Amino acid sequence: MGRIFLYCNLFWVLFSVITCVEAYRLTLGTVHEPGPGFFPFGAGFIMLILSLAALLQSRAKKQKVEETSRQETFRWWNILIILTAITAYALSLEKIGFLINTFLFMCLLLKVVEPQTWKTAIIGGLITTLAANLVFNVVFRTQIPKGILGF
């Protein structure tokens, strides 16, 4: 299981190399007259050294990994669903509007991630949507788009 840390550190090595390359393209300047790429290059370079050191370290000794109890199913799909749902919410917010989006979002979460009955999902979604609308749009008038419903 210590291979996970190997991959992590490889990732950071890669990340720092890319950063340094990109920073170099932004002109480094000199130490006395630093250009836009100076600072990111420096940070990337330090990260490179650190991750290389960590890489060597993780190969040298077998590190103990805290295992999350694998007795229960690892429901990775929940994570995917949640992240996709939020992304969809964000992208459609200005077209569809706050009320509908929030309602659909809440129903989706309640029904799919931690399955509830349809009744709970819909009622819960409704209450939350209305409450959120009250707090944000009415009390604070924070201008969240109204969208196609127009209200």
Partner 1 sequence: MGVFNDLFFGFHIALQPMNLLYCFFGVLVGTLVGVLPGVGPAAALSLLLPITFYVPPVSTIILLAGIAYGAMYGGSTTSILVNIPGEAASVVTCLDGYQMARKGRAGPALGIAAFGSFIAGTITIFFLIFLAPTLANFALKFGPPEYFTLMVLGLSIMVYLARGSIVNALIMVCFGLILGTVGLDPMTGSPRFVYKIITLMDGVGLIQVVIGLFGVSEVLINVETIFKQEIFETKVKGLLPTREDWRRSLGPIGRGSLIGFFLGIIPGMSVVIPTFVSYAIEKRLSKYPEKFGTGMIEGVAGPESANNAASTGTLVPMLSLGIPTGAATALLLGALMIHGLRPGPLLIKESPEVFWGLVASLYVGNAMLLVLNLPLIGLWVKILKIPYHFLFSIILLLCIIGSYITNNNPYDVIIMVVFGLVGYLMKKFNYEAAPLVLALVLGPMMERAFQRSLLLSEGGFEIFFTRPISASFLILALLILLSPLLLRKRRLREDLRAGD
Partner 2 sequence: MQKKIGTGRHFILFVTLACLLWAGSSQAQDYPASPVQIVIPYSPGGLTDIFWRSVSDALASYMKGTIMMVNKPGGGGVVGTSFVANAKPDGYTLVNISPEAVSIAAAFTANMPYDIEKDLTYIAKASEVGFGIAVRDDSPFKTLEELVAFAKANPKKLKVAGMGIVGTPHMIMGVFQREANIETTYVPFDGGSEVVATLLGGHTDFAVVSLPPASPHLRSGKLRMLAACSPRRFPTFPAIPTMAEKGYKRSSFATALGLGGPKGLAPAIVSKWEEAIDKTMKDPKVISIVEKIDGVVIDFKGGEDYKKELMANFPVFKEIVSTLPGKK
Cα distances from 132 to residues 11, 88, 142, in angstroms, run 40, 19, 11
Verify binding: residue 29, partner 2, rule CB under 8 A. yes
Verify binding: residue 36, partner 2, rule CB under 8 A. yes
Q: DSSP code of 67? A: P
Verify binding: residue 32, partner 2, rule CB under 8 A. no
| Calpha distance 28→36 (Å, rounded) | 6
| Calpha distance 102→96 (Å, rounded) | 10
Sole binder of partner 2 in the list 10, 27, 46, 49 (CB under 8 A): 27
SS3 29: strand
SS3 151: coil
Contacts of 68 (CB under 8 A, 6+ apart): 74
Angle, CA 14 vertex, CA 34 and CA 60 arms, to 5°:
115
- For partner 2, the closer of residues 117 and 142 by Cβ is 142
Sole binder of partner 1 in the list 14, 21, 90, 149 (CB under 8 A): 90
Q: Using CB under 8 A, list all residues that contact partner 2.
A: 26-27, 29, 33, 35-36, 143
Q: Using CB under 8 A, list all residues that contact partner 1.
A: 4-5, 8, 12, 15-16, 19, 22, 26, 32-37, 39-40, 43-44, 46-47, 50-51, 53-54, 57, 66, 68-69, 72-76, 78-79, 82-83, 86-87, 89-91, 93-94, 102, 105-106, 109-110, 113-114, 116, 124, 128, 132, 135-136, 139-144
